Structure 1
Amino acid sequence: MAASTAAEFKFSETCYLTRIPNFTSPNPKFCLRWFTPVTEVKLCGHVTLASAHTLFTTALNGGVDGCFLIELNFPTVPVTNFNSAEASLISKALNDAPLIDVKRTTTDGDIFVIPQ
């Protein structure tokens, strides 16, 4: 269902932000899941930021008057250094953007790019 919604909207990724009961604290708590048009994915940065923006700018923040925090619990994955010769290809693919660092995850081979 979620993947079909992503396909219908024709976005590369979409997310579902769901409020979850939090009986131990007055602070609202939410669950966030990410989907491509094909499958659920582990993480999507731009829709995570969009979700945080939505929480900050709408009544979803539980009615707290302008002062609340968002705590993000990102998955932790080990990383390794990226081949410096290949890093120049990454920079070129990003319109020759200067890069501070490039890392590759040891589990899935995902690439993390830190632009300057």
Structure 2
Amino acid sequence: MDLTTRKTKEGQAIKVTVEVMSWLKEDFGHQGWDKLVIEETVSPGTSVMDLLRVIADKHPRFGQKAFAKNQDFLDYCAVIRNGTFLSALADLNTELQDGDNIKLSPGFYGG
């Protein structure tokens, strides 16, 4: 299924903003201090995980670090949807809504 279709039979396409934070921008070929903002248009029914795969296909360096060879999503970065951290696989399978804001931030570890 082509997830980047402008319009679908089911209805209008969904527009999502993806913000790439901190040093993760380097994986997208972006240099400098400003944040990287990517606008994506996807089909209704697209999940956050589907969107991450679309982004990984467009930006292979990110894809190599974010996904294992078996296509499992790794803990390479934190995924935040509309201000809420998505911490479980079930969260990543959440269906996107028009106007969603997804932030990709470096993973944080500590104690």
Work out which structure has the larger RCO, using CA pairs closer than 8 Å and 6 or more positions apart in sequence: 2
Normalised TM-score (structure 1):
0.29
Mark the structure with the bigger radius of gyration: 1
TM-score, normalised to structure 2, is 0.30
